[in-house]
Structure 1
Amino acid sequence: MKKFNFLFVLAFLCALVPAMAQTADGSFHGAEATKSRYRAVYQLNTGDTSIIHHALANIQNSLNDPRLKGKLDIELVVYGGAFAVYKKDKPLFEKEIQNLQKQGVILAMCENTMKMRKISRDELFPFVSYVPTANGELIIRQQDGWAIIRP
């Protein structure tokens, strides 16, 4: 039993030392971006303006991350109450989303939400893209290896 306890403590310490070494001298700077491409889909389904602003800021932060520069594909999938982000008559987010689109972000709207809420394409910004269902888009993207991010 003493041998087992000794081995357990030794294994614990061996696991702990590398973790401590990463932060003790301040040398840890996050994960390295070793792949040629990274893909993330942000899902947004609330009309809460603070959450919408937070989500858009998160996307911009990802685009600004120096480790991901030139390696990042992003899609914003909007459904449910979040449809307001793409409405022409509420241009509160227009500049932010246009800026994201100019940086290559795919701006997708759920057509199922549009049917349920009786929203026409004419009510949305002309630069918005469409997907049949947000859930279907998220399922497909996840199975294709995209990170799913929900603010």
Structure 2
Amino acid sequence: MKTIKTLFCLAVMFLSVSAFAQTLKVNPADFHGAAADKKSYKVVYQLNTDDEKVIKATMKNINNALEDPRLKGKLEVELVVHGGGVAVFKKDQPYETQLKELQGKGVILAECENTMRERKISRDELFDFISYVPSGNGEIIIRQQQGWAIVHP
């Protein structure tokens, strides 16, 4: 008799779990992404390459995030540049207009001073509207511990 009761209980549990699992399935047509239910969001975009495609993709990603209707008016963005990424801030490169547009939208543009020292780059070679941090990696570490999301396109 105990065996029948045990089997019956197991069958009921299986059917209950199966029915519950069916209710959790999301119809793809009904899914519209995560809800931005927080008051604010913070993100650091890391750029450490001079690859033109990556530079352009990074700036496009930042703009896409700023224009996401769920994040509109809730997003704080910092672009941390180190290593080869310093190319984006050089006066002889074609990114000034795009960078000024990002900065106009509130994006912090931060260059790693370690990179400048290691590559013997002076501030005169870079746009005068950018900011500086002692180290790009240090900035990313600190921001991550402060709860900022880190994106490395």
Fold match (TM-score > 0.5):
yes
Structure showing greater Rg: 2
In 1, the alpha carbon distance for the partners of 2:51 and 2:15 equals 49
In 1, the alpha carbon distance for the partners of 2:117 and 2:14 equals 59
Structure 2: 5+ residue stretches without partners:
1-5
RMSD, aligned α-carbons? 1.9
3-state SS in 2 of match to 1:100:
helix
Are 1:14 and 2:15 matched, yes or no?
no
Which one of the candidate residues 52, 56, 59 is aligned to 1:56?
A: 59
Question: Number of residues paired by the alignment?
Answer: 147
After TM superposition, give the deviation of residue 96 of structure 1 in Å.
1.0
**TM-score, normalised to structure 1's length?**
0.89
Q: Counterpart in 1 of 2:145?
A: 143
Residue correspondence of structure 1 range 41-120 to structure 2 within 5 A: 41-90=44-93, 92-120=94-122
In 1, the alpha carbon distance for the partners of 2:18 and 2:48 equals 43
Task: Give deviations 1:49-96, integer Å, cap 9, x for gaps.
Answer: 001100100000000001111110000000000100000011x11111
In 1, the alpha carbon distance for the partners of 2:18 and 2:111 equals 49
**TM-score, normalised to structure 2's length?**
0.87
Q: Return 1-10 or 45-54, whichever deviates more.
A: 1-10
Structure 1: 5+ residue stretches without partners:
none
Percentage of matched positions with identical amino acids: 54
